[in-house]
Chains A and B, each alone.
Chain A
C-alpha cells in the first residue's frame, strides 16, 4: 500500500516490515519495548508529516489524543443519539 507522500513509499515499506516483525515476534509474545523500530519510524514520520502539510491535511485534528471507547460513546451520545446500542458490552 502506498504512502500519502509519494517520496515516503520506501520509508513506509521499511517501517511496515520492521513493525510487522516486531508485532508478531515480540509484542504479541509479551515484549513491550518498541524501540527497535523507533529510528525508522522517526524518519518515516518526518516524511509523512511533510506530505500532510503539503496536502493541507488538518494536522490539529490528527494530533489530538487517541480515541478511547468511553470518549467515543460520549461524543456520539452528545450529538443526540438515543440509539444506544444494546448488547455491545458483552464483548469487552
Chain B
C-alpha cells in the first residue's frame, strides 16, 4: 500500500531579479537556517538545447530520536536535487527527492522559479509525500500541510540571507505592502493548500493478523508523532 499526499502550492516572492536568484541558488549553503545541511556536491552537469541540467547530492544531519533506530541506522540523509535552468524563458525548476528510506517516507518536491512582471522572482513549490509504512495514511493526514505552511517563512529566510549578502545593492523595491526589507522580505503565501490522500492496494490484503494490527498501531503512533520531523529532515528547502 502506498499512500501519497500532495501539497499545492506555496508561493514565495523574492525581491531580487531572476538572474540574481538563480546565481545565488548555487551558493545558498551555508546560511544560518541551513545548519543541518552537511555536504553539497554537484555530481552531474551539462548544457542541453541551451538549458543547464544539474544534479546535486546533499546530505543532512539526522536528528532522529531514539525510536528512529528501530527503522534505520543513523547515517546522514542523502538528497538528490535535479534542476533545469532555461536562460531564455527565465525559468528554473528544481526537483528533489530523498535517497533510500523510501518505504518509510518518500518526499518529492518541485520548485519553479520564474520572473514576475514586476521584475521580482516567484517561487512556486509543490511537495508530494508518500509512505509504504502500514497505518501511515492517517499519520500523513495528521501532520499534513501544517508543516509546509509553518516552514514557508523559515525556508526562504536562509535563501534571502544569501541573496542579501551576495547582492546587497540589488534588492528590488517592495511593490507589495506586505513585503518589507528586513529578514521577512519573502512573502510566503500559501494560496491554496489541500491534501489528497489516496491509497492503492497492491497486495497483502488478507494477512491481517493480530500481530500486524498491533504493529500497525505502534507504527502509526510513531509516525504520527514524528512524521513532521521526518518530512523536515528530507526537505531541502532550508
A: which residues have CB within 8 A of B?
Answer: 1-4, 8, 12, 15-16, 19-20, 23-24, 27-28, 30, 32-34, 41, 44-45, 48-49, 52, 57-58, 61-62, 66-69, 72, 75-76, 79-88, 91-92
Contacts and interface: CB of A to CB of B under 8 A. Distances in A.
Contacts of A85: 6, 8-9, 126
18 contacts: A3-B39, A19-B26, A19-B42, A23-B52, A24-B23, A27-B52, A28-B23, A66-B84, A67-B97, A72-B95, A75-B108, A76-B4, A80-B198, A83-B6, A83-B194, A83-B198, A85-B126, A86-B192
A71 to B, nearest CB: 9
Contacts of A82: 196, 198
Interface of B: 2-6, 8-9, 19, 22-23, 26-27, 29-30, 37-47, 50, 52-53, 55, 57, 59, 78, 80, 82, 84, 87, 91, 93, 95, 97, 99-100, 108, 110, 112, 114, 122, 124, 126, 128, 130, 191-192, 194-200
A52 B57 contact: yes
Given A2-B38, A28-B23, A32-B50, A57 B78 contact: yes
A61 B106 CA distance: 14
Please provide the 4 A-B residue pairs with the shortest distance between their CB atoms, ordered closest to farther: A83-B196, A85-B8, A80-B200, A83-B6
A81 B6 contact: yes
Given A12-B41, A34-B47, A72 B108 contact: yes
A91 B57 contact: no
A49 B99 CA distance: 16
Given A2-B38, A4-B41, 9 more contacts: A4-B57, A34-B46, A57-B99, A66-B53, A76-B6, A81-B128, A87-B192, A88-B8, A92-B112
A15 B56 CA distance: 13
B112 A58 contact: no
Contacts of B46: 34
A62 B110 contact: no
A79 B95 contact: no
A49 B43 CA distance: 8
A58 B198 contact: no
Contacts of B26: 16, 19-20, 23
Contacts of B9: 85, 87-88
Contacts of A28: 19, 22-23, 87
Contacts of A76: 4, 6, 108, 128, 130
Interface centre among A8, A33, A66, A82 (most CB of B within 10 A): A66
A52 B5 CA distance: 31
B44 to A, nearest CB: 8
Contacts of B47: 27, 32-34
Nearest to A90: B124
A20 B192 CA distance: 35
